[in-house]
Amino acid sequence: MTLSRPVGYRSAPDGTHPPLDHPDYRSTAPRAPSQPPIVLPHRLTEVTGPLLAGERIGERDHDLTTQHDGEALGQRIVVFGRVCDSDGRAVPDTLVEIWQANAAGRYAHPGDNWSAPLDPNFTGGGRVVTDSAGNYSFTTIKPGAYPWSNHHNAWRPSHIHFSLFGRAFTQRLVTQMYFPDDPLFAQDPIFNSVPDPKARQRLISTFDLAATRPGWALAYRFDIVLRGREQTPFEEPHD
């Protein structure tokens, strides 16, 4: 049977995304499905998705340092970049959500029992929408590293959680941004769950001196690449 189908989205090359079953990260054991997934050819439900532009953005959502009466403690940083697809096309008007620990490595979350201090002036949640060229920017503080119970003396490298919608259900991505040269990378099973070392490097932001705000904040660039469209039949390369 021939079914009319819209042009779908290209799969990431092998080794880009972590396997669900990754024994070094212990929590995967009871949660990773045991059966292989069944291929879902992209149809209308998959090539469409929620277009969440301005309606989700509050006035202070782009600046995590000024969401309370006082200023957040820690090293002020600008985290910015461009969201595009794997063809390099900008992804405009798309919602970017972030969350992170405070400068001491503590989350403002009832489930975080680590003894590092909370900062009453820092919640750690932010939201922006990309502009027409796919650019986004947050002002925040550099999150601290924190210990967790995965293995003996386990520490998460400093990171910021990122969530993106793109333009289609298939483009949805949740990831984590890391900072350059973190000595904790080697022992972190979540960072190292990405099989391809080159793909892993794409999770690390780059320090950008030109984008710093003199006398105010350092700057890190984190570009994000979502899946691109498959070629239409006319453009299919011959092999």
Smallest gap from residue 91 Cβ to other proteins (A)? 12
Q: Does 206 bind other proteins (CB under 8 A)?
A: no
Q: Find the catalytic residue in 161, 172, 202, 221.
A: 161
Instruction: From 44, 38, 40, select the one nearest 168 (Cα to Cα).
Output: 44
Q: Which of 73, 118, 173, 184 binds other proteins (CB under 8 A)?
A: 173
x-marked contacts with other proteins along 68-87 as a string, rule CB under 8 A: ----------------xxxx
Measure CA 58 to chain center: 20
Q: Does 92 bind other proteins (CB under 8 A)?
A: no
Q: Is 156 a catalytic residue?
A: yes
- In order of 64, 85, 196, the CA distances from 164 in angstroms are 18, 12, 22
Measure CA 125 to chain center: 13
What DSSP designation does 49 have?
Answer: -
Give me the residue label for tokens 């690449």. 225
x-marked contacts with other proteins along 209-228 as a string, rule CB under 8 A: ---------------xxxxx
Q: Which of 43, 53, 120, 133 binds other proteins (CB under 8 A)?
A: 43
Q: Based on CB atoms, which residue is closest to other proteins, 20 or 133?
A: 20
Give me the residue label for tokens 């700057």. 219
